[in-house]
A = this chain, B = another copy of it.
Amino acid sequence: MVEIIGELLPPARVMLTPGPSNVDPRVYRALAAPIVGHLDPWFIQTMSEVQTLLRGVFQTQNRITYPISASGSGGIEAAVMNLLEEGDECIVCSNGLFSERMAVIADRSFAKVTRVNGPMGRTVDPEDVRRAGKGRKIKFIGLTHGETSTGVLQHLENYRQVADELGALLVVDAVATLGGVPLDVDRDRIDICFSGSQKALSAPPGMSPITVNKRVEDAIHARKKPVQSWYFDLTPAMDYWGKERTYHHTPPISLIYALREAARIALEEGLEARWERHLQNQQALIAGLEAMGMKLFVENPADRLPTVTGVNIPAGVEDAKVRQQLLDEFNIEIAGGIGQTKGKIWRVGLMGYSSQKTNVLLFLAALEKVLLDQNFRVPAGAGVAAAIRSYQQSAQPASAGARN
């Protein structure tokens, strides 16, 4: 058995997927640093640093801000299950696989879950939420800031207003946006916000940073029954990450090291510069794709998620073949559709360390080659040329903070 399973030799991919994104060499170095115990005095101090850094990234003063020991979907489960118990009602805005996932997870509680749907590729209308919640006691409104399955950015502005009217908490899934798209937890008065480590923060997958405010702490303390998941119960986890540092479970030390370095890098670059970089690289990508005759899945430019771009697969082009050739010939991974978009779109991620000029130009050039090989005609060089023009029109260099 050992004989046939040899040395681990992964290919060096250019990760242009909706996560995981490429990881900065500094983060790999942190990842492989010596493991210490989860109650080591040095680690206790490191935990505080990670919390400080995450507060910076979330833009919050919330005491309870830490990485959950699970992927982003674990963040959904923690957010939903710590709030809901029998007799509660919640509203989930659903316009794609990942926003729907919040509803699917909430369905496993004993609360009543109301979905307010938006059409695929469009935002959910806060007016619909207001109507759905009218006259009812709603524990929380859940929405997904960036819907990764389609590339839709959900605008947060009016939801806080609706939540206030309904007396509801506001739960925001920022898995695809934190560190890549403007988000300010305290200013936007988001009650629970969580993300994933492997997206615009460009740490390895496996952690879900979360922040909850005092209203949520109070709501959890007021529960009648314990949270139905022990692992995702925030109360004992808060004790470990709070000043008590009481043992709950052994966290993934190495991933915490990596997340610390990734958050440091994000704050060194500056959040505004980082958001601008994501936007400019996506603008160049879009200019290139459109010049090649491609159409975007999300029609309204204002609704486009800067980190993930949904591209309609042109008629006559084989989805899987294109992605396979990009992988085999250029080591570039993009994603296909997922859920309702499967077979209809490609999803191109430009997240964190992957959001670089070099990647945009390389991808457009590689895509041109692959489409030609698949007998789909594209105007020669048009994609790259359009992207270059887009960069020339940008006010500032789009890769400044990415250190290359």
Contact = CB atoms under 8 A, between A and B. Distances in A.
A252 interface: yes
Contact of A204 (B22, B35, B39, B260): B35
Nearest to A2: B267
Given A205-B251, A255-B206, A264 B5 contact: yes
Given A10-B42, A42-B10, A20 B34 contact: no
Contacts of A222: none
B41 A108 contact: no
A52 B206 contact: no
A249 interface: yes
A42 B324 CA distance: 12
A261 interface: yes
A229 interface: yes
| Residue in A20, A28, A250, A260 with the greatest tally of chain B CB atoms within 10 Å | A250
A327 interface: yes
A32 interface: yes
Contacts of A43: 10
A343 interface: no
B41 A252 contact: no
A315 interface: no
Contacts of A327: 40-41
30 contacts: A2-B53, A9-B33, A10-B35, A10-B42, A10-B43, A11-B34, A11-B36, A11-B42, A12-B34, A13-B37, A31-B254, A35-B204, A36-B333, A40-B327, A70-B231, A71-B249, A71-B251, A71-B252, A72-B250, A74-B231, A74-B249, A104-B230, A108-B228, A204-B253, A205-B252, A206-B254, A206-B255, A228-B228, A229-B229, A252-B255
Given A11-B36, A73-B249, 11 more contacts: A2-B268, A5-B49, A8-B260, A10-B33, A31-B32, A36-B333, A37-B333, A38-B205, A205-B254, A228-B228, A231-B232
